[in-house]
Structure 1
Amino acid sequence: HGFCKSTLYTQKARCEYALPDAQPTYEVYDDINVCLSEMCITSVNPPPTLTKVAEKHTTAEELWSNLPQYSTDKVSSLEATTREQAVSELWKQHRNGRITASKAHHVWKRMKTQDAEKGCHSLVSSITGKAFVNPNIPALKYGRVNEPFAVTAYMSSQKASHSNLKVTQCGLFVMQDHVFAAASPDRLVSCSCCGEGLLEVKCPFSAANQPANVKHVTYLKIVNGKTHLKHMHEYYSQVQYQMGVTKRLWCDFFVYTKSDCFVERILFDETHWLELLTSATDFFKTYILGLLELENHGRP
């Protein structure tokens, strides 16, 4: 991983920035405040899980009518107390039953089919926490191990171009008025020149030692001579859903390999976000609500 500390400073071309074309330039270390994480102490207790909410109601219709709306403080408290993400039991508990960003594309595609119910069992199981995913699958383990290196590479590639750059860890965000919609971005990003955004990191195992380009990374494509994330790929839906839930207007999509990296600033696409949210709402009402209610009242 040595190139992260050296060549990214001197060989900016190795990490292509797709959008925007023009960026302000600052001297490295001039007015730069780069950090990996920020501690947050909150006196507000996080809200109950959806499972706990379901315990108070006897039918799916009653549960839907009485889904809570979260205050800003409740949303902030939940985010602050789940920043360990996959290591946090609270994070896992609050994800159960919620349509998260990583599932948004699959839900959207499923609800667009003529027979949405056919074949949706595995998707429902993963959303409700019933499906086990082996964390030691090589691709997952590789991504988990290399994410910190990727974040360091991202910061190294960006801090000369942004004033007061901050990259911070975050937890689970839940929408205030659609509490079944949630997202856990890899990092929050902010700077004086661009405002607040997100960072989504991908470390493709299949391209571990290859350049981060369209030849080796299947979800990238060339448009008008520039490399972009494919808009019909699940990762595009993932970052749009993250932006919608967190109310941020851009996300830096960062692809990291051991020899190269690529970054594209994805701007908020409200049309696609609303399609994703509508599909998530319909899927939750149709397939998830009933399961939450049945499980909490001991019926098969």
Structure 2
Amino acid sequence: MVEIIQRSPEWFQLRRGKVTASRIHDVIAKIKSGYSTSRANYMAELVLQNVTHSIEQTYISQAMQWGTDTEEQARNAYSFYSGNEVDEIAFINHPVITQAGASPDGLIAHDGLLEIKCPNSATHLDTLLNSKINRKYLLQMQWQMACTGRKWCDFVSYDPRFPEEMVIFIKRINRDDDLISEITNEVTKFIDEMNETCAKLKTQYMEAA
């Protein structure tokens, strides 16, 4: 575990060139004919980070900024409603796969994690009405549990623009070792391909320069 503030320059460097939990859906994304373009795009993104040893600045939308600005408020609300104390952590490397890791929004006691989403009001409303969690977030939480060894993760959707009794949605997601095994296989394959591409680029261009 590494104690650095999330979204700081040091945090981005810790994640550089590594498969992270928030992008697992890109790693395993498939269509009828095979892997989707989102996998290839993510591969290219990480290859570039590995060969340049830097991270390209990405566009931050208004919705993304809202989520960042509201996260601490959501964490405090979760602690209030659940009674759970939350410890913050910046990044946790996978115990075996060195080029992968996760940045959960909090650690809870010895077995739990916290994942916070502060979406637009339409998404929060849909979550309140249907109690459904987007699959990419389910994959994200399972990989967080794989990296930390934790047994469960509380998913939070938070929107302070709603009435007090509707501002927060909390749902516990338990560890699924079968799904984690499937994800691990895909991550391992992805990283092997990424490293092969980096090696090929180095041989063809960097060593010849």
Could you tell me how far apart the structure 2 residues matched to 1:117 and 1:213 are? 29
Which residue of 134, 141, 156 maps to 2:65? Answer: 141
User: Which is higher, the Rg of structure 1 or of structure 2?
Assistant: 1
Q: Which has the higher contact order (CA 8 A, sep 6+)?
A: 1
* Aligned: 1:298 with 2:200: no
Q: Is structure 2 residue 92 aligned with structure 1 residue 185?
A: no
Would the aligned equivalents of 2:112 and 2:151 in 1 still touch at CA under 8 Å? Answer: yes
Whole-Å Cα distance in 2 between the matches of residues 145 and 175 of structure 1?
Answer: 28
Deviation at 1:295, TM superposition (A): 5.1
**TM-aligned CA deviation for residue 187 of structure 1:** 1.0
Structure 1 residues 166 and 134, CA gap change in structure 2 (3 angstroms): same
Which residue of 1 is the match for residue 158 of structure 2? Answer: 256
Letter in 2 for 1:180: Q
Q: Following TM superposition, where does structure 1 have runs of at least 4 consecutive aligned residues deviating by more than 6 angstroms?
A: none
SS at structure 2 position matched to 1:182: strand
- Does structure 1 retain, via aligned residues, the 8 Å contact 2:112–2:150? yes
Tell me the number of residue pairs that the alignment of Structure 1 and Structure 2 aligns.
195
Q: Which residue of 2 aligns with 1:154?
A: 78
Structure 2: 5+ residue runs without aligned partners?
50-54
Q: Does 1:172 align with 2:91?
A: yes
Alignment of 1:16-35 (within 5 A): none
* Secondary structure at 1:85 match in 2: coil
Alignment of 1:202-213 (within 5 A): 202-204=117-119, 206-207=120-121, 212-213=124-125
Q: TM-score, normalised by structure 1?
A: 0.58
Map Cα deviations across residues 63-104 of structure 1 (whole Å, 9 max, x no partner): xxxxxxxxxxxxx4xx23xx2121132x22231221110111
Give, in whole Å, the separation in 2 of the partners of 1:211 and 1:280: 29
Q: Using a 3 Å threshold, how does the CA distance of structure 1 residues 264 and 295 change in structure 2: closer, same or farther?
A: farther
Higher helix share: 2
**Counterpart-to-counterpart distance in 2, 1:97 and 1:125:** 10
- Determine if contact 1:108/1:275 at 8 Å carries over to the other structure: no
Whole-Å Cα distance in 1 between the matches of residues 42 and 103 of structure 2?
A: 18
Asked if 1:88 corresponds to 2:9, the answer is yes
1:189-228 to 2 correspondences below 5 Å: 189-190=108-109, 195-204=110-119, 206-207=120-121, 212-214=124-126, 217=127, 222=130, 227-228=131-132
Instruction: Assess if the C-alpha contact under 8 Å between 1:211 and 1:261 holds in 2.
Output: no
Please, what is the CA RMSD of the aligned residues? 2.6
TM-score (norm 2): 0.82
1: CA distance, partners of 2:29 / 2:123: 31
User: What do the CA deviations read for 1:128-174 (whole angstroms, capped 9, x no partner)?
Assistant: 44654213x10110000000110111011011xxxxx4211102111
What percent of counterpart residues are identical? 27
Question: What is the alpha-carbon distance in structure 2 between the residues aligned to residue 158 and residue 213 of structure 1?
Answer: 21
* CA positional deviation for 1:298: 2.0
